[in-house]
Structure formats: C-alpha cells, structure tokens
Chains A and B, each alone.
Chain A
Amino acid sequence: MNSITLDNTLPQVFLQRTDIQSDIWRRQVSFQRGETYLVEAQSGIGKSSLCSFIIGYRHDFDGHILFDGRDSRQLRTPDWIELRQRHISMLFQELRLFPELTAMENVEIKNSLTHHKTAKEIAQWFEALGIADKMDAPVRLMSFGQQQRVAMIRALVQPFDFLLADEPISHLDDENSAMMADIMTEEAQRQGAGIIITSIGKHMALPYDKTFSL
C-alpha cells in the first residue's frame, strides 16, 4: 500500500458543527509511504476516531478513506484482516495489551500470527528499551510507561506500510522516548514504511515531513 487518502472525511458526530478548523477533516489529505507525519490535536477533536476509521474499527464517518484509491467501505472482512496483518500496524493509545499474559506473550501472540521476527530479535528490543528483566512478568504488574514499550514492540512484529501510533510516548521520559523513536524509525525505514503519529502535546522528536493540526 502506497497511500492513505482522506477525502472530505468527517466524524458523523461533528456533522452539525460549522466551526471546524482542521487540516484534515473535510479536506483532501494524503499520507504517502516512506514519509513521517505528525497529527497534533487537542482532546475531543477526533484524534482517536481518525485512527479507528483508518484501522477499520469504526465506520461512523462521512466522506471517504481510500487505500491506494480503493474506498475503505468496499473492504470485506478478509481484506481488513490482510490490512491489519501486513499493511497498517497500530499502536493504540489505550495500548490494548492482555493483562493476563506476560510481556513476552503479548508480543508473541502477534508474532505467531505474522512470524515476522525471531525470538532473539524481540529480546533485543526488550533489551534496548530497558525492560528485558520484565519479559516474563505479567504485563498488568508493569507501569504504564513500561506497558507502552511492550505495546510498541508488539506493533513492530509485523510487516507494515504505515505505522499508526496514537500518542505513543505520553508516559515516557525523554531518554526512553528517544530510544523508542530510534527503534520505530529504524524498523519503518527497513520496511520503507510511513509513520503517522498523533499527539496532544508532548511528541517524539522525529524529522517530520509534514505536521497537521487536526
């Protein structure tokens, strides 16, 4: 997949509103593979909705979302599965980890689906992000910042054309945040993928190709 295009898209809850000033809603916006984007927003302006629309979790929007020109509304269940497994990886704001599994199992459950990384490569990421000692700990006993790193690793163990990260560093210090940015861009570059990061304030220090204000 080379592009994600938003064509006059607007969440249906905003249909009555006339005061929308946005670089994205009700506009023609295109995200290209290989580029890095930052979407800045305030709370309640539909940042998480945007991610839900792109990943196919919600469909309550007006206008169109096009993947390489193909309308997302035409996608059937197998297409969405294919899209989530191989084309768009998502780092959820609420992380969506499984509390009853260990950190490593949370990553494995995704990797066993894609067989994208070896156990050794995964362990190296745990090492790099400073949570190697927590690999076999239940993820529910970890701090939110540690969980964010686990969720990041899970997002990376799949082939993708776009990485969609919804507030990835909200609970990380600058050192860890920089480390996460390194790993993320390294993997994205290796795959030639685009990165779309949303933020309501603190954001990763990356060489963004374009910044949108939602």
Chain B
Amino acid sequence: MRLVWKLLRRHISLPQLAGFFLANLLGMLIVLLSLQFYRDVKPVFSAEDGFIRPDYLILSKRISVLNTIGLGSVSTFSQKELDELQAQPFTKRVGAFTASRYKVACSMGINGVARFGTEMFFESVPDAFVDVDLKKWHFREGDDVVPIILPRTYLAIYNFGFAQSQNLPKISEGIVGMVEMTISMRGNGRNEFIKGRVIGFSTRLNTILVPESFIRWSNERYAPDADAEPSRIILEVKNPADDAIVSYINEHGYELEDDKLDAGRMTFFLRLVSGIVMLVGLLISLLSFYILMLSIYLLVEKNSEKMRTLLLIGYSPARVALPYQLLTIGINAAVLLLAVIALFCLRSQYMQMLQGVFPQMQDGSIVPAILLGLALFVIVSIANAIVVRRRINQIWNNKD
C-alpha cells in the first residue's frame, strides 16, 4: 500500500485539491448554517403558547366608529348569542371572558425596588380553558397572592423599551418569578392590596389573565352592583378547519383574534429564505464535487500507465482505486470536521446577538445539522469512490 501510494501520489495537484477543499467547505458550511439558523430562529416565530391550546378560538365583535360613539350594535355578547353559539354543531365548549369591574393599579419591581406603576385591569376565562397546572392556577378568598398570565408583548415592551432605557436587567421567561407585582384594588369604598405572581406569558391572549375564582370574588367585593356582558369569548371547536366556523363568524359580524397568522407568515418566509440559501450551498457543493472529479480524472489520466501495469502484475481494480478513494474520503472528512467547527463558532456569534434581542430564545439542537453534514459526507464520499472505481474499471477494460 505504501509503495502503491508512492506511485500514485505523483501528479496530484495541490492547487486543484485545495480548490475543491475550499469550495466544498464553503458549500457544506452554507448548507449546515442555513439549516442550523432556521432551527435556531424558528421557535421565535412559532412559539407555542403554553396556556391556551392552539385549537381554541377567541372571538370578539368588530369595533366600528358607530360602536365608539354609542350607536350601532353593542360590542358585547348577550346570553342569547352565547346560547346560540353553544348550540352550533361545530362547538364543543364556549367560555366568556369576565373582566374586572373595579379600579386596579399595579406597581412592578425587581429585587424589592418598585420601578413603575400603572393602572390596569384583569380578565378571566373559565379555568378549563387555561392549560396550566392547577396547583399554580388557583385563588381562594384569604390568599395573599394571585397568579397572573401576561401577554408576551408586555415582556417585549419591558425588555426593549423599559429595561433598555433604565439600565435594568432584561428578563427572560425563565426568571419571570423575579418580577414582583403589588396590586391595589379600589371600589365599593375599599382600597386593598394583594401580591401578584406572574406565572407565564401568553402570545395568544391580549389580556391580563387571572383565575376565574379571583375575578368572581373581587368583583363581588369591590363592585357588587355592576354587571356586564362579556366582550370576548373563547371557543373550543371540534375541528378548527371546519368551513362552517368561518362562515358563522362572518355572518354574525364577529372577529377572530388570530395573532398566529403573522408568525405563520414569518415562518414561511424564514423557511423560504433558508431553503434558497441551502440550495445555493448545495449548488456550491455540487460544483466542488465537479472540481474534484475533474482533478481525479486528470490524475488518473496522468497515472493510467502505472495503474495498467499494477493491474497487469496482479493488483485488483479495488486495490488500485483504494488510494484515491481514501484521499477523497480523507478530504471530505476534513471538510466535514472544519465545517462543523466553523458552524459552532458562527453559531455562538449569532446566538449571542439573537439572545440580546430575544432573551427568552432557547437554543435549537445542533444534532440535525451535524446529521445533515454526515449525510452529505457519506453521499459525496460514496459518489467519489464510485467515480474513481469506474475510471479504474475503464483502464482494466482497456477503454480509456
């Protein structure tokens, strides 16, 4: 083997192999990076909402100018409308949003220092619609802490607007327990305080959600006389793709809150762009493969007489092909290794940048990218090996 290699390494063109090496490295890196970037960034756009199942629909009535000046149809749902909705064949369950009917103010702080306060409101939906551990999601009269789910946008407002300008630490969802809320409730001649604990953030609910039992208790305590119809309802349907739902909603002038749509579009474009970039990478890989094949052909051409002699003195085509096969496999393995190392470096760079913008972002797995790299390595190596072997077979058959 040593002597065969000594013979056949003659005429190996280093510039050609270096060209192949760099081109293949570039192609491989682009392919792996596009996949990895897609997997890392995708969760930002398609974050699953842990609290409201995706097949729940949230309905409201369309607000028009007429509503605003007090004319036109009311913007709340009457009991009759709720009953009618419940009676529809596509409906499984209907729940109403119940709003607080007293004044709520809240001040928030971190580590014991109150930072900002605001007036706000609470809403609740029936507990059955909230997909969270019931141990965390309960309130009984006498408790001094109430669990709260905030819209995820609030977190973004805090992180990018407030924390940045006030030099406060950014908060990720993981350390949300650090947020302290003091809630003051006024009404019915009382002014009382209670602590709030944020247990999570929701993308789908544009409201400040508390347990239903808390709303019932507090409304009775601070606003016993007021009564209001719900302006939003939550709906569980048997089949979200049912056309009857859309036509029913349109017929009755309801509106579907669908914040998932934008995320869906973004994910689509992300996938499209990643796909195009990956294609470019594959194309470069393909071209580099072509370079290697040309180089090997030239090499075999220049060494064909030696190879013929080796075959004539008893070497098998497999043994004659082996050095060049090992050479290409070695180069491919080096390319894979370097590409993966480069991927790690580049990824740590962009993840640092992204995590500055999206603190709640979690790393995607790097395993699929490595698997893809391995698959490319295997495919390219097998293709190389086959081409080399076929060329040697041509020499064996005197067809060169």
Question: Which residues of A pack against B, CB within 8 Å?
Answer: 55, 57-58, 77-78, 81, 84-85, 90, 92, 96, 98, 100-101, 105, 108-110, 112-114, 154, 158
Contact = CB atoms under 8 A, between A and B. Distances in A.
Nearest to A96: B309
B314 A114 contact: yes
A158 B4 contact: no
A98 B306 contact: yes
Interface residues of B, number: 17
B260 to A, nearest CB: 62
A58 B317 CA distance: 16
A55 B398 CA distance: 13
Contact of A98 (B1, B309, B396): B309
B399 to A, nearest CB: 12
B306 A154 contact: no
Interface in B295-309: 306, 309
A101 B7 contact: yes
Contact of B316 (A77, A98, A110): A77
The A interface, classified by DSSP as helix, strand, loop or mixed, is helix
A100 B398 contact: no
A158 B314 contact: yes
Contacts, number: 48
Task: Name the residue among A58, A77, A78, A85 with the largest chain B CB count within 10 angstroms.
Answer: A77
B315 to A, nearest CB: 6
Contacts of A100: 6-7, 10
A92 to B, nearest CB: 8
Contacts of A85: 314
A11 B358 CA distance: 80
A182 B394 CA distance: 39
Contacts of A113: 313-315
A108 B2 CA distance: 11
A84 B313 contact: yes
Contacts of B315: 81, 113
Interface in B177-220: none
Given A81-B315, A101-B6, A113-B315, 11 more contacts: A57-B312, A81-B316, A85-B314, A90-B313, A96-B313, A98-B306, A98-B309, A101-B3, A109-B310, A109-B313, A158-B314
